[in-house]
Amino acid sequence: MNSVTLNGLLDLINTYNSKDVEKIKKAYEYAKTLHNGQVRQSGEEYITHPLNVAYILAEMHADSDTICAGLLHDTLEDTNITKEDIAHDFNPQIASLVDGVTKLSKMNFSSKEEQNFANTRKIITSISDDVRIIIIKLADRLHNMRTLKFKSAFKQKENSIETMEIFVPLAYLIGAYRIKSELEDISFRYLKPDKYKEIEEKKLSVEENYIECANEMLYKISRILNDREIPNEIKIRIKNIYGIYKRMCEGNKINDIHDLVALKVIVDEIDNCYITLGLIHREYKPINSRFKDYISCPKTNMYSSLHSTVFGPSDTIIQTQIRTFDMDKIASFGLTAYFDTEKGNARETMQKALNEKFQFYKSLSEIDSTFSDNRQFVNQVKYELFSSLIYVYNSNGDVIELPIGSTVIDFAYKLGSEIGNTLVGAVVNDKFVSVDTILHNKDRVKVITNELSFGPRLEWENKVRTSYARTKIKDFYNG
């Protein structure tokens, strides 16, 4: 990787936000002066770290306050400066972002274990103060993971486990796929170096053929779209090593993984996504069972695209992903991209998107208000939000996200507490079922309620997985 310079950072920022370049230059000089004389374990000057963090944030098209906070993120902890100084020399928003990031790593508890739980809780709940704090923290963690080779073997393992347990699921929840994939691969390499090597070699052995075929398709599709005057950009995406590992653990051989190499076809507007799909299908026969419309039904982390797996050249099977430029930004960077695609006040825009578009957020607030004990809080988040999720449809086709093992009761409460309290049964995939039925991926669920119902049964408490449902059942009896 080429080393990042101030000019590199400014050039990148100029591509999407040219008006704040001076402010960012000032933050860089400020941080550089404050960290003067400090060196990282790699032997490099300390400023290289915040500079890289800012660069990762700029790749996500973060707003200028976030970039400045990225440059200043270690100054409160490592130098004599105060939050008030930053507020005075820059602005109060930057000061509170830097303060937020600093507080995530600066808590004292009697035992190391207790401290870990408290820290983890702080990291997770900072999402509701200002989600940009967690985004800066993710960028900070990514650069620290990239440079982990300079740390002891113990630290490497410890940081990799923490990354896999906390930061990867958080990155996934807010849709930051690029960061998530890279964090997974780096951690996996430290945790299971032999497996990592084995899969990397397997991947290299098949990759070349796939890439050649994907390239051939790329030129053909791009010519077809240009002829139709549909603005487009086509990229080849290769699955990350950890992603391949997970698929192989499910029993797949490397040749069965049809999105090992995928073609991302990016066009200007939604209508053209569907036109492009038709054009691709006329050129390459689709595997009919492998078509997904995530534009009409976005994933719960707001990922949208059309996916169609087609028969490519030379007997290859290749997945195509068709989306608009805005969808592509959200696919790579998740929540952060809303700042750039919708403009306006960065904090408000992102907090609003979080509230309205990301289902996990409501569950997280619920868990936060239910558990005062840090260990219980962290365990519930892992159990309910970080573990495997299922996606079911309600009667109008909306996708509802639930933790694996959820029942009809969880589903009903997710739709609303009144619905849960008057639940008497359900129709799942056209069959009548009882309320304690466990739901599975892609189930179509229609709840049956009865206003004359006397309320939830007490034993339902043991038949739910989400803490929201459990709280509402308890409230009914205690309220």
Catalogue the active-site residues: 77-78
Q: Which is nearer to Mn ion, 71 or 426 (CB)?
A: 71
Q: Which is nearer to Mn ion, 140 or 384 (CB)?
A: 140
The conformation of residue 2, written as its DSSP 8-state character, comes to: P
Containing 267, the helix (H) or strand (E) segment is: strand 261-267
Q: Residues 290, 305: contact at Cβ < 8 Å?
A: no
Segment 106-145, which members bind Mn ion (CB under 5 A)?
140
Which residues make Cβ contacts (< 8 Å) with residue 400, sequence separation at least 6? 359, 391, 392, 393, 394, 411, 414, 415, 445
Containing 9, the helix (H) or strand (E) segment is: helix 6-14
Segment 160-219, which members bind Mn ion (CB under 5 A)?
none
User: Which pair of tokens denotes residue 305?
Assistant: 């695209």
User: Which pair of tokens denotes residue 226?
Assistant: 């240009």
- Closest approach of Mn ion to the CB of residue 74, in Å: 5
Using the contact rule CB under 5 A, the part of the chain among 70-78, 154-162, 241-249, 358-366 near Mn ion is 70-78
To 10 degrees, what angle do helices 177-191 and 153-162 make?
Answer: 140
- Closest approach of Mn ion to the CB of residue 24, in Å: 18
Which residues make Cβ contacts (< 8 Å) with residue 443, sequence separation at least 6? 390, 392, 393, 428, 429
Beta 317-324 vs 261-267: how paired, if at all? Answer: parallel
- Would you give the binding string for Mn ion spanning residues 26-65, x where CB under 5 A is met? ----------------------------------------
- Closest approach of Mn ion to the CB of residue 167, in Å: 13
Q: How buried is residue 87: exposed, middle or buried, by Cβ count under 10 Å (0-12/13-18/19+)? A: middle
Using the contact rule CB under 5 A, the part of the chain among 3-11, 74-82, 319-327, 337-345 near Mn ion is 74-82
Q: Residues 264, 321: contact at Cβ < 8 Å?
A: yes
**Is there binding between residue 74 and Mn ion (CB under 5 A)?**
yes
User: Which pair of tokens denotes residue 183?
Assistant: 């964090």
Q: How many residues bind Mn ion (CB under 5 A)?
A: 2
Picking from 430, 433, 432, 239, the residue whose alpha carbon sits closest to that of residue 318 is 239
Q: How many CA atoms lie within 13 A of 124 on its CB side?
A: 33
Which residues make Cβ contacts (< 8 Å) with residue 412, sequence separation at least 6? 419, 420, 423, 426, 435, 447, 449, 469
User: Which pair of tokens denotes residue 458?
Assistant: 């007490």
Q: Which is nearer to Mn ion, 69 or 244 (CB)?
A: 69
- Closest approach of Mn ion to the CB of residue 373, in Å: 29
Q: Which is nearer to Mn ion, 74 or 410 (CB)?
A: 74
Distance CA 309, CA 286 (A): 6
Q: Which is nearer to Mn ion, 56 or 322 (CB)?
A: 56
The conformation of residue 321, written as its DSSP 8-state character, comes to: E
Segment 402-441, which members bind Mn ion (CB under 5 A)?
none
- Closest approach of Mn ion to the CB of residue 186, in Å: 16
Q: Which is nearer to Mn ion, 94 or 381 (CB)?
A: 94
Which residues make Cβ contacts (< 8 Å) with residue 455, sequence separation at least 6? 421, 422, 476
- Tell me the residue length of the chain: 479
- Closest approach of Mn ion to the CB of residue 395, in Å: 48
- Closest approach of Mn ion to the CB of residue 140, in Å: 4
- Closest approach of Mn ion to the CB of residue 49, in Å: 6
Nearest-CB residue to Mn ion?
140
Q: Which residues pair with residue 407 across a beta bridge?
A: 438
Using the contact rule CB under 5 A, the part of the chain among 34-42, 69-77, 182-190, 366-374 near Mn ion is 69-77
Q: Which is nearer to Mn ion, 119 or 276 (CB)?
A: 119
Q: Which is nearer to Mn ion, 102 or 304 (CB)?
A: 102
Residues that bind Mn ion (CB under 5 A): 74, 140
